[in-house]
């Protein structure tokens, strides 16, 4: 009797490393994405070390078993969704902060470390790990690296990849490679570190990450300004971006999102508010910067401006932004998009989304990172209603198309995953897409690493 590939590859392993119990593996079939393909995994692997990962990859490679690496499963693009016949490789047991080097301002961590824990470890020694995705309290550093995650501080500090100095990666056949460096500078050979960052588990499985740390910033000061039109909010954002002011955060929320936040929190926004701009500064001149931000907002028609006087008040003013997605989630099933446009076209995107919402008779709230043009239109629909689900899909596609037409990109920080594989060819030219396929084939010739993700 023929033995199925998964049993042949992993059937002799103990329960601490492998399980095929359907009740246990069902919880690892997909991430937090919507409208994405997924299946029940054939099993779940739980390695404890790089050695384990290498051995498991060798087995998978030998038997042609697809491997899907998974962090916390907080992703929104379907990159951690299990295709038919695949085995999910969880990194939750590889969760050690191996080193924090104060003198060199770096840390070495395993992929299962929760991002907030790394930030706390850096803060404990007077240093700062800036990447702060919305899922910072639950997402893992390995997952952040795999998607090149961003967050609200990107306008000043950049994305996860800007802080990755080096990696340890297990390739499809079990080969262990190290990329990058620990020094402040280094340009020896091709930049393989950047190749793996953002590859969503399709080129290798990350087992160790060396990240750059910064000196801890000054206490942040915050500004919140409300506007009675999208145009005036957009003008304020454009003026702030052009001013050269050292903002560490610049966010925007539309009227739909604000109404949802108000319904959830009772913050008491005025009914006529069309948009809110939130900004923060965290350097030694933060007070002066926030004062200049307030003046810019007032000059461009803000109807109300509030600024913080201490760190606690600064955090309180940010609460509306932190409540954006949780508030929209209360309105029904949700499909969150992730597009990035030139900052000069943010208002065009928001206005276009309002038109798309009207055309499809859907509620769509928009919030996001005005400082870098990365917006998150969130489509509210009814998953149980086929017509509503179809309308949500059409709206999602229309928003993505609009972003490209405005000179933007289909994803700013969530990744392509399985949600946007069909859109990749719309953004990349044929030669670039073909080159990416050649890279994938070179590193994963049998196609076992996260098949179906990114390139489809």
Domains, the chain, with CATH or none: 97-215 (3.30.465.10), 217-323 (3.30.70.2190), 331-417 (3.30.70.2740)
pLDDT digits (tens, 9 = 90+) for 24-72: 999 999 999 999 999 999 999 999 999 999 999 999 999 999 999 999 9
Q: Mind spelling out the 3-state secondary structure of the chain? A: CCCCHHHHHHCCCCCCCEECCHHHHHHHCCCCCCCCCCCCCCEEECCCCHHHHHHHHHHHHHHCCCEEEECCCCCCCCCCCCCCCCEEEECCCCCCEEEEECCCCEEEECCCCEHHHHHHHHHHCCEECCCCCCCCCCCEHHHHHHHCCCCCCHHHHCCHHHHEEEEEEECCCCCEEEEECCCCCCCCCCCHHHHHCCCCCCCCEEEEEEEECEECCCCCEEEEEEECCHHHHHHHHHHHHHHCCCCCEEEEEEHHHHHHHHHHHCCCCCCCCCEEEEEEECCCCHHHHHHHHHHHHHHCCCCEEEECCCHHHHHHHCHHHHCHHHHHHCCCEEEECCEECCHHHHHHHHHHHHHHHHHHCCEEEEEEECCCCEEEEEEEECCCCHHHHHHHHHHHHHHHHHHHHCCCECCCCCCCCCCCHHHHHHHCCHHHHHHHHHHHHHHCCCCCECCCCCCC
Q: What percent of the chain has pLDDT over 90?
A: 89
Please state, rounded to an integer, the average pLDDT across all residues of the chain. Answer: 95
Residue 2 scores a pLDDT above 80: no
Query: Which pLDDT band, with edges at 50, 70 and 90, does 1 fall under?
Result: low
Asked if pLDDT for residue 287 goes beyond 60, the answer is yes
Question: Sorting pLDDT into bands at 50, 70 and 90, what band is 199?
Answer: very high
Q: Name the band, by pLDDT with cuts 50, 70 and 90, for residue 225.
A: very high
- Quote the percentage of the chain above a pLDDT of 70: 100
């Amino acid at each position: 009797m023929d033995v199925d590939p998964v049993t042949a590859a992993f059937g002799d392993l103990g329960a601490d490393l492998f399980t095929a119990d359907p009740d246990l593996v069902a919880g690892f079939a997909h991430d937090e994405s919507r409208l994405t393909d997924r299946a029940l995994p054939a099993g779940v692997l739980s390695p404890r070390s790089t050695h384990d990962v290498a051995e498991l990859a060798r087995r998978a490679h030998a038997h042609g078993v697809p491997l899907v690496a998974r962090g916390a499963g907080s992703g929104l693009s379907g990159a951690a969704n299990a295709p038919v016949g695949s085995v999910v490789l969880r990194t939750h047991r590889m969760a050690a902060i191996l080193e924090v080097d104060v003198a060199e301002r770096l840390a070495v961590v395993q992929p299962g470390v929760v991002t907030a824990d790394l930030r706390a470890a850096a803060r404990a020694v007077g240093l700062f790990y800036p990447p702060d995705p919305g899922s910072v309290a639950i997402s893992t550093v390995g997952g952040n690296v795999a998607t090149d995650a961003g967050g609200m501080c990107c306008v000043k500090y950049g994305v996860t990849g800007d802080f990755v100095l080096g990696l340890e990666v297990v390739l499809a056949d079990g080969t262990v490679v190290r990329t990058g460096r620990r020094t402040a500078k280094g340009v020896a050979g091709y930049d393989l570190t950047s190749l793996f960052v953002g590859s969503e588990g399709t080129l290798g499985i990350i087992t160790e990450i060396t990240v750059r740390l910064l000196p801890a910033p000054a206490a942040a000061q915050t500004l919140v300004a409300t506007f009675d039109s999208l145009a005036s909010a957009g003008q304020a954002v454009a003026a702030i971006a052009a001013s050269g002011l050292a903002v560490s955060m610049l966010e925007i929320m539309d009227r739909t999102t604000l109404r949802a936040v108000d319904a959830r929190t009772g913050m008491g926004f005025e009914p006529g508010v069309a948009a809110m701009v939130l900004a923060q500064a965290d350097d030694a001149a933060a007070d002066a910067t926030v004062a200049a931000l307030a003046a810019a907002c007032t000059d461009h028609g803000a109807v109300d401006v509030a600024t913080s006087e201490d760190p606690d008040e600064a955090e309180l003013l940010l609460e509306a932004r932190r409540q954006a997605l949780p508030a929209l989630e209360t309105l029904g099933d949700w499909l969150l998009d992730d597009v990035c446009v030139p900052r000069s076209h943010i208002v065009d995107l928001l206005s276009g989304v309002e038109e798309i919402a009207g055309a499809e008779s859907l509620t769509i709230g928009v919030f996001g990172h005005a400082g870098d043009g990365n917006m998150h239109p969130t489509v509210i629909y009814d998953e149980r209603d086929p017509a509503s689900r179809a309308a949500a899909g059409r709206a999602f596609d229309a928003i993505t198309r609009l972003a490209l037409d405005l000179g933007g990109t289909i994803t700013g920080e969530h990744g392509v995953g399985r949600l946007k594989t069909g859109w990749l060819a719309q953004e990349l030219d044929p030669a670039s897409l073909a080159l990416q396929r050649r890279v994938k084939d070179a590193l994963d010739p049998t196609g076992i690493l996260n098949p179906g993700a990114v390139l489809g």
